[in-house]
Amino acid sequence: MKGFSGKSIHEGEEPDETLHGDVVSPIHLSSTFSKKNMKDVEKGFVYSRSGNPTRRALEKKLAALEGAEHGYAFSSGMAVETTVLLSLLESGDHIIASDDLYSGTRRLFVKVMERFDLKFDFVDLSKDENISFLKDTKMIWLESPTNPLMKVLDIENIADEAHEKDTLVVMDNTFATPYFQRPLELKADVVVHSLTKYISGHSDVVGGAVMVNDETLHQKLMFHQNALGTVLSPFDSYLVMRGIKTLKPRMNIHEKNAKILGEYLEEHRLVDAVYYPGLPSHPQHDLASRQMSGYGGMLSFELSGTSEKAVKFVEALEVFALGESLGGVESLIEVPAVMTHSNMSREERERIGIRDNLIRVSAGIEEIEELIEDMERGFAALDDGRSDVWPVKS
Edge-first strand listing for the sheet containing 119-123: 70-74, 208-212, 190-194, 168-172, 137-143, 94-98, 119-123
Which among 56, 99, 100, 102 is annotated as catalytic?
102
Four-residue CA torsion sign, 267, 320, 314, 369: positive
CB 282 within 8 Å of CB 150: yes
- List Cα–Cα distances, 351 to 106, 283, 345, 348, in angstroms: 15, 18, 10, 5
The answer to whether 189 is a known catalytic residue is: no
99: closest CA among 83, 119, 84, 120?
Answer: 120
The answer to whether 102 is a known catalytic residue is: yes
Q: Within 13 A of 304's CA, how many CA atoms are on the CB side?
A: 12
Helix ranges (DSSP H) in the chain: 4-10, 53-66, 77-88, 103-107, 155-163, 177-180, 215-228, 234-244, 247-266, 285-291, 307-315, 346-352, 368-380
DSSP 31-67: SB---SSGGGTTSS--BTTT--HHHHHHHHHHHHHHT
The answer to whether 351 is a known catalytic residue is: no
CB 295 within 8 Å of CB 286: no
Angle formed at CA 111 by CA 110 and CA 114, multiple of 5 degrees: 55
Which among 93, 99, 172, 189 is annotated as catalytic?
172
Which among 49, 119, 242, 256 is annotated as catalytic?
49
Which among 60, 151, 197, 349 is annotated as catalytic?
197
Alpha carbon distance 370, 390 (integer Å)? 12
Alpha carbon distance 214, 219 (integer Å)? 9
Alpha carbon distance 375, 47 (integer Å)? 50
Cβ within 8 Å of residue 19, ≥6 positions away:
none
Decide: residue 245, CB within 10 A, 0-12 exposed, 13-18 middle, 19+ buried: middle
The answer to whether 197 is a known catalytic residue is: yes
Alpha carbon distance 379, 383 (integer Å)? 8
Active site residues: 49, 102, 172, 197
